[in-house]
Amino acid sequence: MGNKNNPKKPFKTYNQQLKILRNRNLTISDGGKAISVLKRDNYYNIVNGYKDIFLETIGENERYYDNTTFEHINALSIFDKKIRHLFLYYILTFENLIKTKISYYHTESYNEIFNYLDVNNFSGKAEDITKLISSISKEIEKHTKLKKPNAFSHYIEEHGELPLWVLFQKSTFGTASYFFTSLQNDIKNKICEELNEEHSKRYRLENCLVMNPNFLENTIHFINSYRNICAHNERFYNCTFQKKGFKVDYSSYTRVEFRGTVFDLLVILKLFLLKNEFETLKNDFKELLINLEDNLKNNREALKKIKMSSLRLPNDWENILSTIWE
């Protein structure tokens, strides 16, 4: 274990970092450009974050596949950053949609001030409901104690209440997800019914019945997991949602099984986005993928691993996206 006088991971200059990489069979044709990249986004973020795809040997004697370049690793890093930003926009669109429907139907059922602080207005385990209400109370207290005027203090001081749709402007998506879990069943059913109707109209379906409370609850938790990845600026392209008891099962609509990957995120977002929104998402994702393919055209093995093992894209992924839920 490292100590004050002898750290386990000693400081390395940029030139020393490049030397380490070259010794591990990584091609660096332009050291100046590589150092410029490392100065803006450090070695840990780029190399340690994305090297695994390109390694022939892992461990103490790391070795990159022949013809692997620094530019290949950086290209994957840039691709990941761009798809993370791309998906975040549509995840936030989904978040706003869910918060809007929860606040509307919960308030319709319990049209009273601070209806979200009454345990009788929820269903489920008492412990979970109490925890949810406590979290909401702390959120309100935090914002009303701020010296600078804000929406919370304005509504409470001027109207003596804080509507749920205002509360949700500051609440995390995690709070909203647990709020949905604790809703009364009749409210969950109303939300699902409306979402089914909206999807049916968008795609001119006779009667879409994809959505039910269990499906939607699992979907919300799944999408929120990717929301958290975006918020913490973590690797996005190879993430897999794994939580015991949660699975968004759409196997009856396509031969592809849910695996909690970015591809599954694409599939599921189609249920909630407007048609033009989803087409834009799909096309922008495809364009970024084409750019990555171009940047890795001399490293086909790594590209194959990215698409098949990390993104887990089926060979006919575009066709699946074009036909599912229609």
> Three-state SS for 10?
coil
Express each pLDDT in 67-95 by its tens digit: 999 999 999 999 999 999 999 999 999 99
Q: How many whole angstroms separate alpha carbon 54 and alpha carbon 75? A: 12
Report percent pLDDT > 70 for the chain: 98
Query: Any idea what DSSP says for residue 326?
Result: -
> Three-state SS for 98?
helix
In this prediction, residue 142 has a pLDDT band, given cuts at 50, 70 and 90, of confident
**In this structure, are residues 69 and 191 in contact, taking their beta carbons and an 8 Å threshold?**
no
**pTM listed for this prediction:** 0.92
Top-ranked range on mean pLDDT: pick from 3-7, 152-156, 196-200, 255-259: 196-200
Count of helix runs (H) and strand runs (E) in the chain: 15, 2
Express each pLDDT in 234-286 by its tens digit: 999 999 987 777 778 888 888 888 999 999 999 999 999 999 999 999 999 99
**Stretch 199-223: mean pLDDT:** 93
Q: Which helix (H) or strand (E) holds 313?
A: none
For 78, 299, 300, 305, the CA distances from 293, given in Å and listed in that order, are: 13, 9, 8, 12
Reference 217, options 258, 192, 180, 243; nearest CA is 180
The tokens for 274 are: 């407007």
Q: Based on the number of CB atoms within 10 Å of its own CB, is 58 exposed (0-12), middle (13-18) or buried (19 or more)?
A: exposed
Phi, psi of 56 (to 5 degrees): -85, -40
Q: Which helix (H) or strand (E) holds 55?
A: strand 55-57
Does residue 290 have a pLDDT over 90?
yes
The CA radius of gyration of the chain, in Å to the nearest whole number, is 24
Q: How many whole angstroms separate alpha carbon 183 and alpha carbon 135? A: 16
The tokens for 250 are: 């759409």
Contacts of 41 (CB under 8 A, 6+ apart): 77
Q: Based on the number of CB atoms within 10 Å of its own CB, is 194 exposed (0-12), middle (13-18) or buried (19 or more)?
A: middle
Q: How many whole angstroms separate alpha carbon 228 and alpha carbon 243? A: 14
**In this structure, are residues 312 and 259 in contact, taking their beta carbons and an 8 Å threshold?**
yes
Nearest-10 crossing angle of helices 70-109, 31-40: 20
Q: How many whole angstroms separate alpha carbon 23 and alpha carbon 27? A: 9
Phi, psi of 57 (to 5 degrees): -125, 130
In this prediction, residue 311 has a pLDDT band, given cuts at 50, 70 and 90, of very high
Does residue 1 have a pLDDT over 70?
no
